[in-house]
Amino acid sequence: MKRLFSSILLVTIALILGFWLGKTNALQGTWIGDTLSDTVEKIPNPESIVTIIEGEGSLKKVTPIPESQPQESTAVSEPEKEINETTANIDYKLIEDTIFNLLNQVRRENNLPELTPNAQLKKAARKRAKETEESFSHTRPDGSETFTILEEADYKYVYQLAGENLGMATNYLDETGMAELLSNGWVDSPGHYENMIRKEFKEVGIGVSFDGENIYAVQLFGTPMAN
């Protein structure tokens, strides 16, 4: 028993010493040092893993205008890609679909109707996800507020209620794991969770962007203008 304990203690000390030597480059230039450095680079550094959930979520309500044209629900189609293909080495669709499914799971748990996917909101959410690479805020890079995107021709969505949740996390898990990490972050944040379970919302678009290090995700909620 003492021999087993001594062996475990020696292995533990060796691992700690090896990790320290690798991080401090004390053996840089030697084959031992190169091996330690390679090993250290493959161990995630907790301090470099970042998960940020922006603010408290954004919400905007528009008073219905009788003469406005009603917004029809749009069937989901593949949106125009707001993706930098040079860094497209993750499965965007899998992350977006998983976030969508987790969102509706939360709504079912709260006895709320599931949200319907909307193609325009998805296009806008992907655009917003790309924009948050430059400015991680409910204010767009040009200084305008979030929901101005729904007034642009390519992303036009006539709404009476809209909401936005932003999330960012260092990419260190598989796609399903990253989707769960971001979704859990929103659930744990009261303002974002409020958007997720707001009973007035009818539709949603999920968008994701990736800059090679961080995944940016957007939930864009909407309630179309009533007929």
Show the CA angle centred on residue 225, arms to residues 220 and 227, nearest 5°. 145
CB 160 within 8 A of CB 61: yes
pLDDT at 89: 83
pTM of the full predicted structure?
0.68
- Joined together, the tokens standing for residue 215 give 């995944």
Sign of CA dihedral 17, 22, 25, 27: positive
Tens digit of each residue's pLDDT (9 = 90 or more) over 170-219 = 999 999 999 999 999 999 999 999 999 999 999 999 999 999 999 999 99
Show the CA angle centred on residue 126, arms to residues 71 and 70, nearest 5°. 5
